[in-house]
Amino acid sequence: MVALPSGTVTFLFSDLEVSTRLWEQHHDAMVGARARYFAIVDDAVASAEGVVFSHAGDGVAAAFISAPDALRAAVTAQRFLVEELWGETGALLARMALHTGEGVVVGEDQYDSQPLNRCARLMGVAHGGQLLVSGATAALVSDALVDGVNLSDLGEHRLRDLARPMRVFQVLAPGLRSEFPPLASLDAFPGNLPLQTSSFIGRAREIDRTSSALLDARVVTLTGVGGVGKTRLALQVAAEALPKFRDGVWLVELAAVRDPDDVSDAFATVLGVTPRGGVSLEEALIDSLGTKQLLLVVDNCEHVLDAIAALVEEITSTCPGVMVLATSREGLALEGERMIAVPSLASPSADAAFDAIVASDAVQLFVDRAVAADADFGLTPLNAEAVADVCRRLDGVPLAILLAAARVRSMSPEELASALDRRFDVLAGGRRRAVKRHQTLRATIDWSYDLLDEAHQRLLARLAVFAGGCAREAAGAICVGGPIEARAVLGLLSDLVDRSLVVAERGGAETRYRLLETIREYGEERLSGEEAVALRDAHARYYAEYTRRCAKGLESTERIAWGTRMIADSENMLAAFAHAVDTENLDLAVRMLEATPPWSQQIAHQVSFPVDDVMAMPGVEDHSSYPVVLVVAATIADRRGEGVRARELADAALEVERAASTPPCYEIDIVAARWFIEGLVMSSAGLNDDAAAAYQEAANCFRTTDKFIAGRCLGAAASSLCFAGHQAEAVSVATEAVALERDSGIPVDRVALSALAIALAPKDPQRARALLVEAMQDDGKSNYGEALQLVLAAAALGDWALTAQLAMASIPLLQWVNHRPFLHVALSMTARALAEADAEAAATIQGTAHALAMSFTNIALGEVSAPAGRPPTNRGALITDIRHQATEILAANLGADRLHELRDRGASMDTDSAVAYAMTRLTASRAATPA
C-alpha cells in the first residue's frame, strides 16, 4: 500500500453527473463505462505522482503533495474523458474539484475530514465537465500554469455546511468546455439561509430521517428541549434540500415575536409581502405563496404555537407547493404532521475504549469547539476519559457541550468534569440520575453564568433586550451603567464570545453580537422588572435616533454602508417602534416615521413601520408632526395600490400643515412630499406625462435646500418622460438631475443615471453605455425599482445580452414583492432579449407579460385619473416600442400561427410558473453565450 501524503496536501475529488439515471437506463453498459472512467482518472493521478485513496460509488478521491501536479492530473483526466467514445451510455461528464489543506492521516488509509469536506462541497456545486479549484489551491498554481491553462475567478460562494464562503476558480484549458450555468452554491438559489459559522457534526441518522420525512409529509416538526440542536439540524437539512425547491428555502425566525398576532408579519417580512387594498396581510401572504414551490423553515414555534399552527395549516391547505420544516419544543398538532424528536448526541459509555470515545458524536463536538477555543487542545488517551465524562454528565446536549468546551482555555478536561460534578450535585439535590435534559441545560447555563463576574453577568442579561443582535456601539449605548463601564464593553463582549455565551457574526463591515435564543430567554429572566423597563426605554430611544442616522446616511457618500446597517438592525428598529406604540410614546414613533419619506433611499428590502398603529394612537391628530404621519401613510397606500387613498392622505397632510398656527419643526417638506406622492400615483397608473410634471414640482422644492433630493426627484421625472417617449426633454431633465446629485457630493443614484442613459441611447449610445456602466457599480445593492431601471437602460441601448443578464437579477426581486406592473415590464424586456436566440421561449414569455398587463391595467387606470383639466397622456412609448420590436422578430421567425399558440401557452401560466420558466430560459441563454 502506498503511503498517503501528509502536511500540505492538494485533494482531487471527481464524481459523475446524473449517474443515477444512467445506471437505471443502461445498467449493464454502465458497469464497463464506470471501470473505464475509474481507469482514466486513476492513470491521470498516477502520472502526476498522486495517490488514489478512495473509490466510492461513482466518485474518486486522490491526494497530491504538489498542487500543480494535482491540477495537471485533473486537466488530463477531463481531456481523456472528453475524448473517450462511450457508446450506449453517451458521454460521461465528471464534476471535479481541487482543494489544498492540512492533510492529517488517521490510521493507515484515511484523512481527517475537514479538508475532505471542503473539497467535496466544492465538487458538489460544479457541473459535469467542469473543473473547479479553491482559492487555497489557486494561490499555489497561479504561477505554474502552462499549456494554455488559465483560471477564471468565479468569486466567493457559500457552500453547504462550510463556516466561511470559499473563493472559487474555474480551470480553463484547451479541449475542455468553458461555459457552464451558474454554480449550484447556496448563492445560486432563492432564499435567506444564513451562513453557518461552525461545522456540522454527527446527526447522520437525524438528517436521513428528516429528509425522508419531507418526501412524505407537508409539515415536519423537529421537537426537543432547548439547546439540543433543533435549529442547526433544520438548517442543515434545508441546505441539503435547497436544489429541490424551485423557489428556494426561506427561514422564518419567531424568537423575537412576542405577540401571536405578529406571526403573519414575520412571514411577510421574510417573503417581501405587503397588504393590498381590501386584502388582509394573511390573505396577501397566502396569495403570494399560492403556486410557489419552496420550503419554509419556521424556527422557535413553542411560544406562539396556536398562531403558527393555524397559519401553517392555512398555507399547506391552499398552497400545494409549499412545505414546512418547523422547530418547536412540542408539535403543532396538525393533521398529517410528521414529528421527529431530536435526541441528544450519543456519548461514550463509562468503559468505552479510546477508539469508541473518538468516534462519539458528542466527543467530536466537544473537541471541535475546544480546538476553536484553544488551538493547542487535542484529544489524547490521557484526557479522553475526562472528556467522555463531561459529555455524559451533560447528557450529550449540544449547547451544554459547547459551553463546557469553551472553558478548556482555562480549565483541563479533568477540572471541567469535577466542576460539573459538584455543580450538578447542588442543582439536582444530590440525585444526579434525576437530572433531566432541560434541567441539565439550565444547570450548564447557571454554571457558566455563575463563573462570570458581575459586569459580565449584567451585560449578558442586558443583551437580551436586542432583537436579532446588535453592533458594539448599540451595546455600549444601551447596556452601560452600574458595573458596566462604556470603555469596557468591547472587552466584556469578547469575553462572552470566548465563553460561547454570545455569538459574534463577522460577515459584514462591523461585527454583530447575538445571543442564542435559549440564552436570550435566560438573560431576560435575570433582569429585574425595573431594569427591564429601563432597558426597553433606552433601546427604543437609541434605535429611534439610529433610524434617523441611517436615513441621513442613505443620502451620503456611504449610502451602501448605511443601507446595509439599516437592514441588519431592522428587527431592532421595528421592536423600538412597537415599544413606542405600546407605551403610547407618540413623539418617539413619529420621529421614526420621519426617517421614511416617500423619496427614501433605502436599499434591498425596505424597513417600513406600521403607520396605521400611529394613526390610531390617542392625540395623533393634535401632534405638531401629524402631517408627517399622513405623508408616510400616503406613501404606504401607494405601495398597496390605493392611489385615491394616497392622494387623499397627501392632500390632508398639506391642509393640516397650512392650518397650523406655528411653523413646522419636522424635517419632511410636506409640499414636496405631496407632489412626489402625486408622481408615484400617476406613474403607477401609467400617466407618465402627469407623473413627470409632479416629480418636477417636487424637485423645485429642493433646488436650493437639498440638491441630492432635488436630483432624485428629477431622476424620477426623467424616467417618466423616457417612458412617455419624450427623449429630448428627458435628456435635459436627467442631465440636470445627474449634475445636481454630483454637485451635492453624494454618489449619483441609479434612477438618474439609467434615466439619462435611456434618454441618450438613440443619439449618443457610447455615452449612454458609460452611464449604464456607472449605474451598475455595486450591483446587488439595488432595490427593485432601480434594478428594473437598469434593465430598461440596457434595452434602450439594444444590448440584449446585458438586458437578459440584468433581467435575471431584477425578476426575482419583482416576483417576491409582487409588483405586477414592474414584473410585466421586466418580462417584456426579457422577451425581446431572447427573441433572436430563443424565439419559442420569447413568445411564451411575451404571452405571460401580456396576461400580467391585463390583470392590473384596468384596476390601475380605473382608480386614478389625470388631474382635472388634463386628458390621459402617453402611457409608455419606450416599452411599447420594444414590445413591438419583439413581436415583429417573432412573427418573422415563427409565423403568425405558432406565435399565437406560444403566446396563449404563456398567458395560461400562473405568475410563479412563468417566472420560473423565464429564469430557466435566461440561464440557458447565458450558458450558451460565448464569454
How confident is residue 108, by pLDDT bands cut at 50, 70 and 90?
A: low
Of residues 556 and 585, which shows the higher confidence score? 585
Per-residue model confidence as pLDDT tens digits over 689-702 = 899 999 999 999 98
Residue linked to cell 442543515: 236
User: What's the mean pLDDT in 143-154?
Assistant: 89
Task: Say whether pLDDT at 533 is over 60.
Answer: yes
Pairing of strands 150-157, 512-514: unpaired
**Tally of CA atoms within 13 A in the half-sphere of 896 that contains its CB:** 0
Per-residue model confidence as pLDDT tens digits over 552-576 = 887 777 777 888 888 888 889 989 9
User: What's the mean pLDDT in 487-501?
Assistant: 87
Per-residue model confidence as pLDDT tens digits over 786-814 = 788 889 889 989 999 999 988 888 888 77
DSSP reduced 3-state for 697: helix
Residue linked to cell 398567458: 907
How confident is residue 875, by pLDDT bands cut at 50, 70 and 90?
A: very low
Is the sign of the CA dihedral 907, 908, 911, 914 positive or negative? negative
User: What's the mean pLDDT in 593-614?
Assistant: 78
Quote the crossing angle between the two packed helices 230-241 and 204-216, to the nearest 10°.
60
pLDDT for 780 equals: 53
User: What's the mean pLDDT in 67-96?
Assistant: 92
Cite the beta strand spans of 355-412 per DSSP E. none
Q: Which of 298, 293, 241, 288 is nearest to 266 (CA)?
A: 298
pLDDT for 17 equals: 83
Q: What is the dihedral of CA 539, 541, 547, 550, to 10 degrees?
A: -90
Interatomic CA distance for residues 578 and 395, integer angstroms:
40
How confident is residue 162, by pLDDT bands cut at 50, 70 and 90?
A: low
pLDDT for 194 equals: 76
Interatomic CA distance for residues 415 and 423, integer angstroms:
12
Task: Say whether pLDDT at 431 is over 60.
Answer: no
Buried b (16+ CB within 10 A) or exposed e, 291-319: bbbbbbbbbbbebbbebbbbbbbbbbeeb
User: What's the mean pLDDT in 252-280?
Assistant: 83
Q: Which three cell numbers stand for residue 752?
A: 438618474
User: What's the mean pLDDT in 194-200?
Assistant: 67
pLDDT for 269 equals: 84
How confident is residue 422, by pLDDT bands cut at 50, 70 and 90?
A: low
pLDDT for 817 equals: 59
Interatomic CA distance for residues 378 and 392, integer angstroms:
19
Q: Which three cell numbers stand for residue 194?
A: 444564513
What's the mean per-residue pLDDT of the chain? 84
Interatomic CA distance for residues 352 and 359, integer angstroms:
10
How confident is residue 427, by pLDDT bands cut at 50, 70 and 90?
A: very low
User: What's the mean pLDDT in 79-97?
Assistant: 90
How confident is residue 188, by pLDDT bands cut at 50, 70 and 90?
A: low
Interatomic CA distance for residues 642 and 380, integer angstroms:
69
Residues in contact with 244: Cβ distance below 8 Å, sequence separation at least 6, in sequence order: none
User: What's the mean pLDDT in 743-769?
Assistant: 84
Sheet architecture: strand order including 166-172: 51-56, 59-64, 7-16, 94-103, 131-134, 166-172, 150-157
pLDDT for 277 equals: 64
How confident is residue 650, by pLDDT bands cut at 50, 70 and 90?
A: very high
Interatomic CA distance for residues 734 and 729, integer angstroms:
8
pLDDT for 539 equals: 95
Task: Say whether pLDDT at 433 is over 70.
Answer: no
pLDDT for 154 equals: 87
Interatomic CA distance for residues 716 and 559, integer angstroms:
19
Coarse DSSP helix, strand, coil percentages of the chain, rounded to the nearest 5 percent:
60, 10, 30
Task: Say whether pLDDT at 302 is over 90.
Answer: no
Per-residue model confidence as pLDDT tens digits over 817-873 = 566 777 888 999 999 999 998 999 999 999 998 887 776 543 333 445 545 444 444
How confident is residue 924, by pLDDT bands cut at 50, 70 and 90?
A: confident
How confident is residue 405, by pLDDT bands cut at 50, 70 and 90?
A: confident
pLDDT for 751 equals: 80
Maximum mean pLDDT: which of 310-314, 349-353, 359-363 = 310-314
Q: Angle at Cα 414 formed by Cα 411 and Cα 419, nearest 5°?
A: 70
User: What's the mean pLDDT in 277-281?
Assistant: 77
pLDDT for 52 equals: 92
CA Rg value for the chain: 30
pLDDT for 749 equals: 72
Longest dimension (CA), the chain: 94
User: What's the mean pLDDT in 119-136?
Assistant: 91
Interatomic CA distance for residues 138 and 144, integer angstroms:
10
Task: Say whether pLDDT at 585 is over 90.
Answer: yes
Q: Which DSSP category does 481 fall into?
A: B
Of residues 921 and 312, which shows the higher confidence score? 312
pLDDT for 423 equals: 47
Task: Say whether pLDDT at 266 is over 60.
Answer: yes
Task: Say whether pLDDT at 467 is over 80.
Answer: yes
pLDDT for 64 equals: 94
Maximum mean pLDDT: which of 225-229, 343-347, 704-708, 884-888 = 884-888
Q: How far is CA 246 from the centre of its chain?
A: 15
pLDDT for 434 equals: 33
User: What's the mean pLDDT in 647-651?
Assistant: 91
Residue linked to cell 420550503: 295
